[in-house]
Structure 1
Amino acid sequence: MRELVFALEYEPGCNRVADTLADHPDARIRSLSLHATAESLWRVDHAVGDATALADIEDTFLTADYYADCLAADDCGATQTTRVLDHTNDTLILYSYWERTSDCASVPHIALEHLGDGVLFETRHEGRHYTWRLIHSGEGDVGAFFDDLETAVGECARMEMLRTAETESPGGEPSDGGSELSPEQDAALRAAVEHGYYESPRAVDVGELADHLDVPRSTLTYRLRRAEQQLAKRYVADERLPERPSSAL
């Protein structure tokens, strides 16, 4: 089995969910379940944030002109239904069903075309960053998948590859390359160290560092957070590895 992890960074005005989350930096949405056939897609999403953020997220899902996962630049004429399954002060759970048309495109449907049936999808949406994790059989044409995805996204979003590797082995140990930082994450982390972002007190804040790197503040924050997450997981995993016995003299 193979794992693909990548992120779409949406430009303003291209995705209403991304625009809403950009207005609420502490809110996020993750998929609890996501399934697709050639003609349809249905999913359950879990959103967290303050009361105002969740109200805005609910309104976005219920009133969007067309389904948020559709990559079409204009209204594609698809039929979509969204229902609120639960809404508390800090949690929102949404069910969405989408029947696509010939003008529709989405990550799951492009994956089904090039990677085959049985693909597993996991998503996380923070700000303008929409991270996808795909688990597939290893068959199919990954290059064609990304070529078609890039064409479908067009100028609405920038695609960033985060990881491609074998999935975890039965023993639970990640295979080689599964915890590598993407080039963008590596560059962000190195710049943060070099410019004193991790000093105490900090020599630069995230806004100043973003200006220096000529990237949006939200983009830099996202890359640093993901890099820190990878390094923390790697550190803990290394701690769990049994010590090798010393060779006998």
Structure 2
Amino acid sequence: MRSLVFALEYDPGCNRVADTLADHPDARIRSLSLHVTEERLWRVDHATGTPAALDDIEDAFLTADYYADCLATDDCGATQSTQVLDHTDDTLVLYSYWERTPDCSSVPHIARAHLGDGVLFDTRHESRHYTWRIIHSGQGDVGAFFDELETAVGTCAQMELLRTADTEVSRRVGHSDRAELAPEQAAALEAAVEHGYYETPRAVDVGELAEHLDVPRSTLTYRLRRAEAYLAAQYVETEPIPEHSPNPT
């Protein structure tokens, strides 16, 4: 099996959900399940954030001109519906169903066409960054997948390959993807250390560091978070964890 991880960074005005998340930097959306056939897609998503953020996210899903996962830049005539399964002060759970037309395109449908049946999807959406992790057999054509995806995305988003690796059974659940840190994340982390971002007090803030690297603030924040998450996972995987916490002294 192979694991393929990449991100789409949407430009303003290209994706209603991305625009909403950009207005609420602390909000997140992750997929709980995502299934696709040749003509249909259905998924359940879990969003977290402030009450105002969740209200805006719900509105974005329910009132968008066309389905948020569709890569078409205009209404493609698809049939879609979204239902709210749960909405509290800090949690929003949404079920979405989509029947595509020949004019529709999406990451899962392109993946299925080039990577074969049985592909598994996991997504994370924060600010303008939409991160996809795809588990596939390794028998498909990854190059053709990215070529078609790049054409479908057009000028609305930039693609960033984060990692591709073999998957294996790990001794810890959730850490089966063993791969090196993506170059863009490694560069962001190196610059952060070099310029004192992790010092106490910080020598630079994220805005100053982003300006120095000539990248958008949201892009740098995203890369640092992914790098930190990777390093934390590597630490937990390699360091023994005691079965019982020591008694306080």
TM norm structure 2: 0.93
Q: CA deviation at 1:155?
A: 0.8
* Alpha-carbon distance between aligned partners in 1 of 2:170 and 2:185, rounded to the nearest angstrom: 28
Counterpart in 2 of 1:22?
22
* Alpha-carbon distance between aligned partners in 1 of 2:239 and 2:223, rounded to the nearest angstrom: 24
Per-residue CA deviation, residues 112-145 of structure 1 (Å, 9 max, x unaligned), is 1000000000101000000001001111101100
**Do the aligned residues in 1 keep the contact of 2:121 with 2:134 (CA within 8 Å)?**
yes
Give, as a single letter, the amino acid of the residue that structure 2 aligns with 1:146. Answer: F
Counterpart in 2 of 1:75?
75
Give, as a single letter, the amino acid of the residue that structure 1 aligns with 2:137. Answer: S
* Alpha-carbon distance between aligned partners in 2 of 1:50 and 1:236, rounded to the nearest angstrom: 30
Per-residue CA deviation, residues 155-201 of structure 1 (Å, 9 max, x unaligned), is 101111111001123655967x8231111101101111111111111
* Alpha-carbon distance between aligned partners in 1 of 2:145 and 2:240, rounded to the nearest angstrom: 36
Per-residue CA deviation, residues 47-90 of structure 1 (Å, 9 max, x unaligned), is 01111000000000000000000001111111100000111111
* Alpha-carbon distance between aligned partners in 2 of 1:235 and 1:86, rounded to the nearest angstrom: 35
Give, as a single letter, the amino acid of the residue that structure 2 aligns with 1:25. Answer: P
**Do the aligned residues in 2 keep the contact of 1:179 with 1:230 (CA within 8 Å)?**
no
**Do the aligned residues in 1 keep the contact of 2:6 with 2:133 (CA within 8 Å)?**
yes
Counterpart in 1 of 2:245?
none
Structure 2 residues without counterparts, runs of 5 or longer: 242-249
1:1-249 matches, within 5 Å, as: 1-169=1-169, 178-240=178-240
* Alpha-carbon distance between aligned partners in 2 of 1:179 and 1:207, rounded to the nearest angstrom: 29
SS at match of 1:114: helix
Structure 1 residues without counterparts, runs of 5 or longer: 242-249
* Alpha-carbon distance between aligned partners in 1 of 2:210 and 2:178, rounded to the nearest angstrom: 27
Aligned pairs, number: 240
Give, as a single letter, the amino acid of the residue that structure 1 aligns with 2:215. Answer: V
* Ranges of 4+ aligned residues in structure 1 off by more than 4 Å: 170-175
* Alpha-carbon distance between aligned partners in 1 of 2:131 and 2:7, rounded to the nearest angstrom: 4
Q: CA RMSD in A?
A: 1.5
Give, as a single letter, the amino acid of the residue that structure 2 aligns with 1:66. Answer: Y
* Alpha-carbon distance between aligned partners in 2 of 1:159 and 1:181, rounded to the nearest angstrom: 17
SS at match of 2:89: coil
**Do the aligned residues in 2 keep the contact of 1:163 with 1:178 (CA within 8 Å)?**
no
* Alpha-carbon distance between aligned partners in 2 of 1:231 and 1:212, rounded to the nearest angstrom: 24
TM norm structure 1: 0.93
* Alpha-carbon distance between aligned partners in 2 of 1:22 and 1:168, rounded to the nearest angstrom: 35
Give, as a single letter, the amino acid of the residue that structure 1 aligns with 2:102. Answer: S
